[in-house]
Each structure stands twice: as C-alpha cells, then as structure tokens.
Amino acid sequence: MSFASIKLAVASSPKRILSRTESLDFRIPALMFRNGELTLLIDERPHPTEGFDWESLGGAMAADLPNPNRILMMTSPDYGETWGATRPVPGTPRVCGDACIAWDDNGVTLAYAASEKIGYFGSRFEGERLEAWIAYGPDLYHLKHRRADSLYEELRCDGLFATSGSTPMWRGRALLPYVVKTGNDIEIRVVHVEKGVIVDVSESIVAKNNDGTTNATDVFPGENVAVANDDEEKAGAEGNNAWFISGGIKKTLDGPVMLDETTLEVVDDVIYANFRLQGRGGRLMAYSTDGVHFSVPKPWPGGVDSAPDSERAQVADLKRALVPDSDRTQMPDPGCNAKLFALANKGAKVNDELVDGDVAGACCTEGAGGSEASYSHKDSADVSDDITHDERVTRGMETLCLVHPHDANERKNGAIVDISGRVILDIGPGEFGYADIVEMGNVAEESTAFALVFECENSLYFTTFQSRGQ
C-alpha cells in the first residue's frame, strides 16, 4: 500500500445546531452517515431536580443515569447544511442514554444504557443493575431492542456501558467497546454483535505492567515519561507516580491505572483501540488482528519504547509525542472521550506537509441485542503480548488521528491530532467536550469529507472538514 500525503481544510465554521434550554441540556453525540443522510443521536438531559440524590444512586455526575435522560435523533439530508427536528429513537426505554452506533448496508446496530433506579457506579451484579441494551434493524425506525443481560452473566460484573459515539464494523460485526466494572476493578471488553446477536467478546483489556500488575509504575514509566527540561529533577523527586507532560504539567498517578471510555477504528482489517484513563489525563492505545486478543495498552502513540529495534525505524516519529522536541507539539489531554478515526479513506499517512486549519470562535456561531447466550467467550491473558507488530499494523497506525480537547486540565481547545501528537486541525478556543466524527465519502478526486459534532456549554455544534490528497 502506498500512502498519499494529505492536508486538512475546514469546509465550514462550527455552527450551533442544538441549543440548551432553561431545563434541558444536549450532550453525548453519536453520528451516522448512511444512504447519503447524516443522523445525529444525542442525550436529552433534564436538569436534575432539587433533592435528586445522584451520588447515592451511583451517577458519575448529577445529569447521568438514572437522571431521566432519553436518546433523541435528528437528521440532515444535505451533509449538515440543514437539520430536522429532534425526536426520540423509536423503541427505546423511557429513561436511557449514551448511544453507541454502528452500521453497514444491511442494517444498524445501536447499544445504549438504561435505568430509572441506578447509575453505573451504583450498579451491582447482585442487585440493581445499569441495563445494557442492544438493538438492530434495517434502520433506526425499525429496530428490535433487547436487553443484553447475558453480558452480566458471562462477565460476572457489577456494571457496564458501551462507550458513546460511532463505532466501526469489522467482518460483518459491529464492534461495541464496553467499559466493565467488577468491584473496584475496571476493564475493557470489545463485544462483537452480528445482526443484533452477540457472537463474541474480547479478552479483558487492562493497562498492565510487564509483571501483570496494573499500577502506574510501568504503564507510565515514571520519571522517564515526557519530562521536559528542568522537570527531570522534579520527576526524580516524585518517583514513579509522577507523570510529566508538556510544559511541566504534572499528573499524579495514585494507585492502579484504570481504563475508561474507548473508541475503535479499523484500518486494513486491523482493529485499533484508543483508551481514556479514568480520573486523569492522557491516553493509551492497543490493537488487535482478530478482535479478541489485544496488545497491551501503551501510551498514545502506541508503545515505541517497547518495540523491537526492527520496528523503531518504521514508527520512530511516534516517540516524539513522549519525548519533547523543539518542532513537535506535545499532546495534553484532560480526560474525555476522544474519537479515533483514520484519514483519507483509511489509506493515507499524515506527514509534515499537513497544515493547521484555524476555526475561530467555535462557540459563537448560530445555526440553524443479542440473544441471551449466543456467543462463546474467549479469554487468554497472555496471548495479546505475542501479537506480531507487522508492517500492516504500522501502516494502519500511521493513518490514525483523534479529536479531543487539547488541554492538560480542562475540556477546551478542540483539536485533531495525528499519531505523533501533532495538532493537524485547530478547531478553535472555548469549551470542547464529547465529540464524534464520521466520514461522508469523497467530495472530489482525492478529497474526503468528514462531519464533526462536539459539545460546547451543553449545546451541540457541527462542522465539516476535508482531507486532500496531493
């Protein structure tokens, strides 16, 4: 495979397409582009009532389930120029949220959570559970909705939810990235769903050290990770629980490193996973060639320091995100979902020819389940460490980007960054929360259009951009 160099260009300034009201917030976008139509799924979140004891019910925040949220949908027939009115997704429970969507020519798979009684952190295997639902049908209007109780029975977990946003298809299967909680432990499981039926579940994915433990010592190798200039002395004093990123900003890693919301992408049949870290900034990355066994998650970008010498030449640029360099951008991250996606029809690497696109005033422009036991679970704790990091994996990795809030402490300054951590598209200043990106196909020769929706001040904004071959 040969890679074309590409540039990003902003096709439209962000416009607000859904505005918060005195009583409602609109959050958690999930985009689908199918049959020439854009569909946006969102959480409609009523402001919590006075006295709503969300903490005792296990919510991460007051507006999380079991707050009476619901999933709405709105569509655009013209690539986001105009949008129809919002409406509930047919067949969903009265209280639900966090839509995760995958699709192909045959149908649509939708996963979400539901509960009027308990939140994720309060969910218990022996007790009230945050319900997992999976729906499938020819379109969003004709879905068959089923509770995926079999996931609880198979994994013996206390709580789980699918990461919101769009997620890829792979060999005819929707890949649903679930965050799974058992006691105080968190793991990621990629659930394979084919036409609404769960057919497989990945091994447990955790951030772990070489000895199998999950504390911070080797996941982030202490003072050796991204220390800049005079921060070396500070890092040595703090020891292995100090993680310094750009500008000397310190993240203290107390206790185990837990993975959180996860987004997936497929390039050349390889599955890539991008993990948020629970309660702290930074990102980890892993990959799989079979959808079941994943490589050990490594700091974004993936694991150059542990790669064999034969691989370092191919991915040497990746190390620049971990080791400060005068002509490179570090990648601060405050902790948020971050959509992983591939540029240029999943076949062109990003390089030094990319230019920033400046979108000014991002927040200132107005605008208009599966059967109960249908799969055989596989688990092999050691197999993932033996996956071959071949040329195909490296080539796919070079096409990857993510969109996230590009700030070490706050959800603001949205940006698209490449695998080396460089900003290749500056979405602009201001608040930038959860976001989703979807490819809309070729708009001209060697030019691919993308749609982006993001949160800003509990409203939703839309913009488009293009990758251009040269």
C-alpha distances in Å from residue 384, one per residue of 115, 295, 311:
35, 5, 18
Q: How far is the C-alpha of 194 from the C-alpha of 41, rounded, in Å?
A: 21
Domains of the chain with bracketed CATH: 6-207+258-469 (2.120.10.10), 213-248 (no CATH)
Q: Where residue 248 falls among pLDDT bands split at 50, 70, 90? A: very low
Q: Looking at residue 172, what is its pLDDT? A: 98
- For range 408-424, the mean pLDDT: 87
Question: Which pLDDT band holds residue 444 (cuts at 50, 70, 90)?
Answer: low
pLDDT in tens, 342-363: 985 443 333 333 223 333 233 3
Q: Are 154 and 199 in contact (CB under 8 A)?
A: no
Residue 314 has pLDDT above 70, yes or no: no
pLDDT confidence band for 7 (50 / 70 / 90): low
pLDDT in tens, 58-114: 787 889 999 999 999 999 999 999 999 999 999 999 999 999 999 999 999 999 999
Cα 298–300–303 angle (5° rounding)? 40
